[in-house]
Structures are given as structure tokens and as C-alpha cells.
Structure 1
Amino acid sequence: MNRRPRILVLNQYYKPGVEATANLLAELCEALAQEFEITVVTGRLNPYPDLPSDEMVDGVRVIRTRSTAFDRTKLHLRAVNYATYLADSVLRSLTLPRPDAVVTLTDPPMIGDVGLAVARRFRVPLMVVSEDVFPEIAVELKRLENPVLIRMLREMVSLYLRRADQVVAIGETMRLRLQEKGASADRIAVIENWVDTRRIVPRSRDTAWAREHDLVDRFVVMHSGNIGHANDLVTLIRAATFLRDLPDLRLVVIGFGALQTVVRDVADRLEVDVAFLPYQPRDILPESLSSADIHYVGLARGLSGFVVPSRAYGIMAAGRPMLVSADEDSETVRIARAQRCGVVVPPGRPELVAGAIRDAYEGRFDLDEMGRRGRAYVEREADREVAVARYRDVLARLVPSSSAR
């Protein structure tokens, strides 16, 4: 062939969105654009109403649908965003030149069904990258309780998982969850999410960013990422009530999400002093992440394998240890234990979180060595170049049979 194989990618979020998956997808597409002709059909972003409908961004063609971009903290408005994106993504995809493969992520969870329809229309392979498992995550969080709707959504997700030519899970526990939903074991590859270890590197705790936010000479416990139902941040806030005798302890919560108001209200009600900060610019992340002594990575009970906190990779890249509050079979606990790069406690136990923070504060853990071990792990297993090479291998197996037609 005289052209690069065409890959059509479908996901509601893409950069400049602040979502982790938006930026991970952009990094992956930009790297793959060296070998493939990549087109991404994505949705509108609330903070960026004037982005072009069709443009080239760092070697990737980005097409933005006529979808709504309402406040996602309200469930019914998020549903409208989903519906408008799904409808227009079908129309946009079918008017594009024939791709050689279709790739979808899982935001919204039903986009895999759109991908399946488009792939079958063009008679090309479908690859689904599962960033979370739906509707089980919503059911576990009691965000979805209507049995008819749950059954319908399970069928919709199971349909594309059973028929996809390739499914990518971002962890071993998730691989098992996807098999339970009907994905064939021989068509599932496990590729962890990643971090650019050249961009996020360990820095001194005494940075300009730390001085600006009065964090120097304090013991800093940080959460940096989405403030959602899955992250169990209320447990961290409640844990702080056991630590009022530590005058230089500082809790820092960076990010935004559906539970931000709830978490703030809990902190106010319990009279816990928390520094709430917005998402930080990507070029600031090495400084902000490095300003913490230890990072809290919470995952609500019952969610292991349904979602994997990708912020753990940035923490490890910055050379900082993790305090993981999650079920034993979660991917993050597995990494923390196997690599000895963090402390693990069960989810939903604020007294145990407080005990681990106190132990860290009093020097019972070698936090610097934990950070070094985490850094070594992501350099070896979860660096951007490592993940991109694994995706290239998977796509190379899918594309030739399609592009030869």
C-alpha cells in the first residue's frame, strides 16, 4: 500500500480535556501517528466552546461532534452529553474514508456499540480499550439501581465485548472482569496505562509550587486527580480527624469531579483543614506531585477490576510513595505490594488510613526508598514508550488483514 493504514478512534474526551483518559488517548494517538493515519471523533468540551470542528492536532485529525457539554456532575445532564455524542459520532464516522480498524475506549460506555456498528459497516476489525467496566462500577457505587436499565446496559456492553476482534484491559483483575462479561480470553491483551517518565520526573519537595502553596516544612498527604465516587476521598477526610495532634500535617486535594461539593462539605462539617486546588497545568505536575510526602490512592470497596486509578503512575513517576486504600485484588494494591512502593490498607477504614499516615509521619516507613522503587517500576513497565510499543504490536496483528482489502 502507498498510504499508512487508517485508524478511526472514538471516545468522548480528548485533549485539551483535563480527564486522564483524554490525555492518555492523545499521547497514544500522537505516538501512533508515525505509522498510522489517525482520526479521532470526540465530543465538545465545556471550557472550550470554540474549538474547531475538524483540525489537525500534533499529527492527529480531530473531529468534534455537535454534542452538548453540560455540567457532568449532574447525572441527567451527563446522560444528555452521552446521547448527543453517540448520535453524532455515528453520523461523522460513516462519512469518513474507510478505516482499516476502529478503536474505541469506554467513555461513554456505549461507544463500543457505535464502534461495532461502524466496524461492521466497513468490514474492518474493532479494538476496544476498556478503561473501566460498566455498568458494574455504577451499580457498586449505587449510582444505578433500576434493574431494567442495568440489564439493558449490561447487554449493550456485553455485545461489543463478545464481538470485538481485540479487547485491551488495563490490568489483570480487569481482564477477569471482562471475561466474565463475555470477552473471549484469547482476544484480551493486558496493557497498563502509562506515564511519560521523561516529562514527570522526581523533584525536590522544596519547589516554587510548594512554596506558593505553603507546603514546605510540612508533612503533605495529597490526592491529585478526579474527585469522584470511586475515589473514596471521604475516608481520607475522616482519617484526618484522628490526626489533629500533628500541627504540621497538610492535606491537599487537587482536581475536580462529581463529588467535589460532598467532599468539601464533609471537610467543613468535621472541621478538617484541607487545601482544595483545581487541576494543575500539565507542565506543573512534576512540581505539584513531588511536593507531597505520600499520595493517597483510594478506591471504593467492590470496585477492583472495574476501574484502575491511572493517577498512580504519575505518583510513581514523581518518585513518591502511595497510601493505597483498596481491595486486595485491585491492580494498584498488587503493584504497591509487589514493588514495595506503597502502604496498603482496606477501603473505607479511616482509622487505618490515619494509622498509616501517622506511621509515615513518624518515620516508620522509608518513603524515599518506596518512591525510588515506584519510579523504577514505571520506567520498566509503565512508561509511555513501553505502552505504545505494546499497542503497536496489537494493531499490527489487526490491521494487515483489513488494509489488504
Structure 2
Amino acid sequence: MVSTNYAPEHAGIGPYATQIAEHWAAPDGGGAEVHVLAGMPHYPSWRLDPAYRGMWRAEERRAGVTVHRRRHTVPPRQTALRRALFEASVLAHGLVAAPRIRPDAVVAQMPSLAGGVIGARVAARHHVPYIPVVQDLMGAAAAQSGIRGGDRAAAVAGAAEAYALKRATLVGVIHETFVDKVAAMGVDRGRIRLVPNWSHVARPSRPREETRARLGWNRERTVVLHSGNMGLKQGLDVLVEAARRDPSVLIVLMGDGNQRERLRLLAADVPNLEFAPPAGDAEFPDVLAAADVLAVTQRASVLDMSIPSKLTSYFAAGRPVIASVAAEGGTAQEVVRSEAGLLVAPEDPEAFLKAVRALAQDPEAADELGARGPAYVTAHLSREAGLSRMSALLAEALDTTTRGADPVGSDAWGVPRT
């Protein structure tokens, strides 16, 4: 597996890559010899984990998986040039110092452009199946990022993605909204498989009131929690402005990211907006469940096809979601499909507050919305189902290569082709 992000990173793509690799290495997942070519832990803070400071290369064993780490740049501030240097450093070091093993198959987690290209090249070198899994597409993200040089970066990213995807045996996509975009890059639709992400966190284990008391959240106050990356794409200014407009609502931004300090300055005069460090894995589900509302936000200019990993965690927590996102994106579609939350227009603090107040005034309706989240996870987003789909994708790619022909009909787990 090629995945720039991997454990101990606990947000974004890292947990999915880790759980897939560890599943394949475990006896009940096949007991395979699994190697991961990864970067140095840095996400979501975009700061190098101190434990890896000074390392150029490292090899470690984690839960039966051999992880090969290669050094790369870590840009604390995102610009098109710095992101390009980041990807170039991942690509150069990964190609020059790829693990000296002969794989039976290569799986790459995208949107890492470098990871996609490395995966394609390593698979071609050894004449083995190559399976990229599209978690997001950097070309579209760069075009919508608002960072300087975004259009040029989008063109370069799109070309790199097309290079990697067209060389795939099969392409996994985490949501159906990616299918048309991947096909537009020249990938035969018959090679595209839907492999949705799953809820990778445990269910809450402690009473809500106990956790609220520990966190200092007044039981009479409405608490809105946003957990995860604080980047440009999230457009978290809307939550700062919402807090400024309604002092009775406590808004908590939990996590890290390259916009955290800017948001701190923006909210310096807003006493009812708090910043919290990322919660540990053990307490994370309980912290989510202790909030009254869980928020997911995106900038109005972002039509995001991907599903943020926070959303599957939100559903598992059993609290209502308010999604301040474009109605046509993947996040909005999942919220509607789950019936576990409300949609509001992006970057509209008044619309966001109106939804918060509606839920606060009708606790029974809020609890009913929240209860649909765990039910949706059980029916569609369980870890067992997600890992089974990934194993089936790998098995189908190996079988396709062995037979020397493209598969036809249904995919390996009986779902008609997209």
C-alpha cells in the first residue's frame, strides 16, 4: 500500500489506510505480508510529529504491518507552490527509495498525487495489479482552494491523477459522485468500483452528562462542536461569525490545521468560541456524543465530491448533524441519505444559527435525528462491511490479472457495476 497518511495520524485518510492494512495482515483478514510506503506523521496539524524529527527513512512494525517511512517537506502554510514541493518531495523520495520487495499487488490511497504515481510505477515495474482508491481528487480541490496559483496547480494535479488512474487494474471510489470525474479522465467505467468509507471510531461509552461536566459544558447551554481539520476548504469563518452573533451558543473547534491560528485571531473577541486540541482515540466518541450539534462546513466555492472522515464519526456519535455545505456535493448527499441531520447554505451564519435554534427548541426532534446516525452506520457504514469491500476489490483485481481479461457483470461482492 502507498499512503502518505498512516497511523499514528488519527484524522483524514490515515485511519482508513491503517485499518485496511492491519485487516489484511490479521489472520481473519487473510494473514498477508503487508508493507506500507508512508510519509512522516504530520496531519492534520501540518507539523512533523516530534517523534520523527531528524529522520530521513524509518522502518517500523505496527500491528503486523511493516511501515516504510520516507521524509518529505511539511508546509505549515498552504500555497500552490508549497503543496507542489510537498508532493514532489514525497514522489522523489518514494521512487528513489521504494521498499525492496516484490509485491503481488499495489494499492494506493489518493488524493496523494505522489502516492498515485508511485503506486502506478511500482506496480508496472513488477507487472502486478494496481488499485488506486479515490478518497478525493486534488485537481478539483486545487481549482476550488482559493490559494494563489490554484488554477495552475489544478491542471498539474489533474494530469498526475489521470496518469495514475488510467494505469489502474481497477479504481475504487468512496462515493458515487466521483464516478463521472474518474471516467472523464479516461478510465473505463467498467473498471470503477464503489468502496464507501466506514465509521472507524467506536460508539460512545460514557453518559453524555458525565462527559459534559468533565469538559465544563453547561448542561443548559447549546454546544456546537466541529471536529477535524481546520483548513481553507472547511470555511470555518462561518462558525466564528455564528458564535459572534449569538453569545448563548457555545461553539467548540476541536482539532488542528493550517488555519487554526488565523481563526484564533479572528475569534479573539468572541468569548463563546473555544478551541480544543484533538481528543484521544479513547475519549473521542464520548466528546462527540456530549455535544448538542455536530457541525460540518465547507466554503461556498467548494463543490466537494469527497466525504469528510468526520461525517462517519458524527453519525456513530448519535447527535444531529448540521451541514453548511453545497447541496450538490457528496457530504450533502450523505446527510440527506442518512436522515441524521439538516442542510443549510454554506457560509451563511444566520442560516446555521436558525438550524441550531430549531434543534435546541425541540430536543425530541434533535434526539430523533441523532438516533438515525448509528442506525445508518449499522446498515451501511460498518467497519466489517467496509473492509470486506476492500478485500473483495483486491481479490477481484488479482483475479482479473490472472485471467488476463477485464471482469464483466457484477463486481466481486455482487453489486452491479456503477
TM-score relative to the length of structure 2: 0.86
Structure 1 match to 2:234: 231
Q: Moved runs in structure 1, 4+ residues, more than 6 A?
A: none
- Secondary structure in structure 2 of the residue aligned to 1:231: coil
- Secondary structure in structure 1 of the residue aligned to 2:124: helix
The answer (yes or no) to whether the contact 1:173–1:304 under 8 Å persists in 2 is no
Which one is further off, 21-30 or 51-60? 51-60
What is the alpha-carbon distance in structure 2 between the residues aligned to residue 92 and residue 10 of structure 1?
A: 13
Structure 1 match to 2:358: 359
Structure 1 match to 2:2: 10
Residues 357 and 253 from structure 1, CA distance in 2 versus in 1: closer, same or farther, beyond 3 angstroms? same
Where does the alignment leave 5 or more consecutive residues of structure 2 unmatched?
42-47, 405-418
Residues 152 and 79 from structure 1, CA distance in 2 versus in 1: closer, same or farther, beyond 3 angstroms? closer
Structure 2 match to 1:41: 37
Structure 1 match to 2:334: 335
What is the alpha-carbon distance in structure 1 between the residues aligned to residue 338 and residue 264 of structure 2?
A: 33
Residues 149 and 324 from structure 1, CA distance in 2 versus in 1: closer, same or farther, beyond 3 angstroms? closer
What is the alpha-carbon distance in structure 2 between the residues aligned to residue 23 and residue 324 of structure 1?
A: 23
Structure 2 match to 1:140: 144
What is the alpha-carbon distance in structure 2 between the residues aligned to residue 213 and residue 280 of structure 1?
A: 11
The answer (yes or no) to whether the contact 1:104–1:112 under 8 Å persists in 2 is yes
What is the alpha-carbon distance in structure 2 between the residues aligned to residue 370 and residue 147 of structure 1?
A: 39
- Secondary structure in structure 1 of the residue aligned to 2:267: helix
The answer (yes or no) to whether the contact 2:105–2:130 under 8 Å persists in 1 is yes
Q: Which of 171, 175, 182 lines up with 1:178 in the alignment?
A: 182
What is the alpha-carbon distance in structure 2 between the residues aligned to residue 203 and residue 37 of structure 1?
A: 37
Over residues 183-228 of structure 1, what are the superposed CA-to-partner deviations in whole Å (9 max), with x where a residue is unaligned?
321111122211146x2336432124x2232114121100011111
The answer (yes or no) to whether the contact 2:39–2:69 under 8 Å persists in 1 is yes
- Secondary structure in structure 1 of the residue aligned to 2:97: helix
The answer (yes or no) to whether the contact 1:166–1:188 under 8 Å persists in 2 is yes
Q: Which of 214, 217, 227 lines up with 1:215 in the alignment?
A: 217
Structure 2 match to 1:296: 295
Residues 114 and 175 from structure 1, CA distance in 2 versus in 1: closer, same or farther, beyond 3 angstroms? same
What is the alpha-carbon distance in structure 2 between the residues aligned to residue 338 and residue 299 of structure 1?
A: 19
* Count of residues in correspondence between the two structures: 389
Which amino acid counterpart does residue 349 of structure 1 have in structure 2? D
Structure 2 match to 1:120: 124
- Secondary structure in structure 1 of the residue aligned to 2:322: strand
What is the alpha-carbon distance in structure 1 between the residues aligned to residue 60 and residue 217 of structure 2?
A: 41
Which amino acid counterpart does residue 193 of structure 2 have in structure 1? A
1:147: Cα distance to partner?
A: 4.9
What is the alpha-carbon distance in structure 2 between the residues aligned to residue 372 and residue 39 of structure 1?
A: 39
Residues 404 and 334 from structure 1, CA distance in 2 versus in 1: closer, same or farther, beyond 3 angstroms? closer
Structure 1 match to 2:324: 325
Matches within 5 A, 1:4-403: 9-34=1-26, 35=30, 36-45=32-41, 46-47=48-49, 48-49=51-52, 53-65=58-70, 67-68=71-72, 70-75=74-79, 78-93=83-98, 95-145=99-149, 147-196=151-200, 199-201=202-204, 203-208=206-211, 210-217=212-219, 218-244=221-247, 246=248, 249-268=249-268, 271-363=270-362, 366-400=365-399, 402=401
The answer (yes or no) to whether the contact 1:105–1:112 under 8 Å persists in 2 is yes
Which amino acid counterpart does residue 351 of structure 1 have in structure 2? E
Which amino acid counterpart does residue 160 of structure 2 have in structure 1? M
Over residues 34-91 of structure 1, what are the superposed CA-to-partner deviations in whole Å (9 max), with x where a residue is unaligned?
31321001112311216881122101111111x1353433545554443222112113
What is the alpha-carbon distance in structure 2 between the residues aligned to residue 174 and residue 216 of structure 1?
A: 42
What is the alpha-carbon distance in structure 1 between the residues aligned to residue 131 and residue 253 of structure 2?
A: 35
Which amino acid counterpart does residue 135 of structure 1 have in structure 2? G
What is the alpha-carbon distance in structure 2 between the residues aligned to residue 173 and residue 402 of structure 1?
A: 27
Which amino acid counterpart does residue 352 of structure 1 have in structure 2? A
Residues 133 and 10 from structure 1, CA distance in 2 versus in 1: closer, same or farther, beyond 3 angstroms? same
The answer (yes or no) to whether the contact 1:202–1:290 under 8 Å persists in 2 is no
1:299: Cα distance to partner?
A: 2.1
Which one is further off, 368-377 or 212-221? 212-221
TM-score relative to the length of structure 1: 0.89
Which amino acid counterpart does residue 263 of structure 2 have in structure 1? V
Structure 1 match to 2:411: none
1:144: Cα distance to partner?
A: 4.9
1:148: Cα distance to partner?
A: 4.6
- Aligned residues: percent identity? 26
Residues 124 and 71 from structure 1, CA distance in 2 versus in 1: closer, same or farther, beyond 3 angstroms? same
Over residues 114-153 of structure 1, what are the superposed CA-to-partner deviations in whole Å (9 max), with x where a residue is unaligned?
2111111111111111111112112112225365543333
CA RMSD of aligned residues (A): 2.3
Where does the alignment leave 5 or more consecutive residues of structure 1 unmatched?
1-8
Which amino acid counterpart does residue 131 of structure 1 have in structure 2? Q
